[in-house]
A and B are shown apart, each in its own frame.
Chain A
Amino acid sequence: MKTTAGIVVGFVLSLMLAFAMLAPAGAQGERELHAVNINYEGNNVWTPGTYVVRKGEKVRFKLFNRVKADPNVHGFAIDEFNVKVDVYRDKPETVEFTADKAGIFRIWCHLHPAHLAGQLVVLEK
């Protein structure tokens, strides 16, 4: 049972990861990404954990909180781009910013800093 759930979660995660990695830039210099907050074996985490964009791109994150357990809200924050969104359960949010600097930036839950962090990788070009 647990194994099946693990396989399903793993499959969904790899799909999402593939989607995030391969997501083509829409209009020139724009990139849309999806982040889903889930609880994986007791850990709250935005998934996929790593996103890759190019410097100068306008990034649009669609955010989904799918954690069934309380609390009913989790945070999505990237300090370097002034991103800080409270995402309520089953209330998708969208946030946009321009990735105007290259580097590896932490994505974290500002409401519950103990939750697992991910990262945004901004390539120089």
Chain B
Amino acid sequence: MRTVRPRGRCRRAVLGGLAALLAVSAHAGAQTPEGRHVYERHCAVCHGPKGDGNGEAAARLTTKPADLTAGRYKFRSTPSGALPTDEDLLRTVTRGVRGTAMVPQTHLSQAERQLVVGYLKRLSPRFAEPVPPAVEVPPAPAITPDLLARGARVYRASGCPECHGDGGKGDGPSARKGMKDARDLPIVPADLTRQPLKRGSAPEETWKSIALGLDGTPMPSYADALDPADIWALVLFLESLVPQERRHPEDRLLPGEEVLGDQIERQHREGR
């Protein structure tokens, strides 16, 4: 094995990073009670004190809160079946799950969000397993008519219309029969003709959803079935299905469950 000797500026950066890492882990270790405090104040109302998704507000929500004790996460940058990275968890806490009551937790400081991520990992014994490295999303290709036609072919050939419908509205034959998630709760396929999607509007995030799947749902990983370029063609074809008036800004709460989720969290926070 070759030893890599960092030099100059690079070396300083590495040492600085290392110091920060040590500080963070020492911090996380010492401050777990704080992570728990943040969780109880901001998360438990929906996810429940034990994290099983049965918080006092859960009954009011259409999309049920995640069971955090299962250690099974939809929004990962890791392969299907694997645990998410800390960055994945931090992203979901920070940006929320769009269209649901899991609203962006930007009222928390970055440090508080990091503490709560540390606490989330204590709610499931699965986090004793190693977390694989994040899959790298290749750069997006240029959009051409050929690429979009290829994306449309991939959409049909991969079986997407069965759930998401011919036009991507989430109204395929399986959707009409009614679908269930791994907890046996009703789940509807995404309407791909409006944004943001649950994971937001960034095409790179849609690429991850298709390549890596959304664990605990009927949405599979296509990493084995499609090559990365086909996935990009598919993502950009899906982008082309979203009319301007159905692109909602990412920085504003959507009416419905997002507004309700915001109210619940606020009332809970202020009532304590």
Contacts and interface: CB of A to CB of B under 8 A. Distances in A.
Interface of A: 42, 69-73, 75, 84, 86, 88-89, 109-114
**Interface residues of A, dominant DSSP:** loop
10 smallest beta-carbon distances between A and B, as pairs: A114-B225, A71-B220, A72-B182, A73-B218, A70-B215, A71-B218, A113-B159, A111-B159, A111-B162, A86-B174
Given A72-B217, A114-B224, 7 more contacts: A70-B81, A71-B218, A72-B181, A72-B182, A112-B220, A112-B225, A114-B226
A73 B81 CA distance: 15
A58 B179 CA distance: 28
Interface string B215-248: 1111110101110000000000000000000000
B179 A70 contact: no
Q: Indicate the size class of the contact surface on chain B.
A: 20 to 34
A89 B183 CA distance: 10
A111 B157 CA distance: 10
Contacts of A109: 159
A42, A73, A75, A84: most-surrounded residue (chain B CB, <10 A): A73
Contacts of A70: 72, 80-81, 182, 213, 215-217, 220
Contacts of A73: 174, 179-180, 218
Nearest to B174: A86
Contact of B182 (A42, A89, A111): A89
Nearest to B80: A70
Interface of B: 72, 80-81, 157-159, 162-163, 173-174, 177, 179-182, 213, 215-220, 222, 224-226
Contacts of B157: 113
B81 A69 contact: yes
A111 to B, nearest CB: 5
B157 to A, nearest CB: 6
Contacts of B219: 71
A45 to B, nearest CB: 13
**Candidate in B80, B181, B218, B226 with the most chain A CB atoms within 10 angstroms:** B218
Nearest to A72: B182
A89 B157 CA distance: 24
A54 to B, nearest CB: 30
Contacts of A114: 158, 222, 224-226
A111 B174 contact: yes
A108 to B, nearest CB: 9
Contacts of B222: 114
A8 B27 CA distance: 48
Nearest to B173: A84
A75 B172 CA distance: 14
A75 B218 contact: no
A111 B80 CA distance: 17
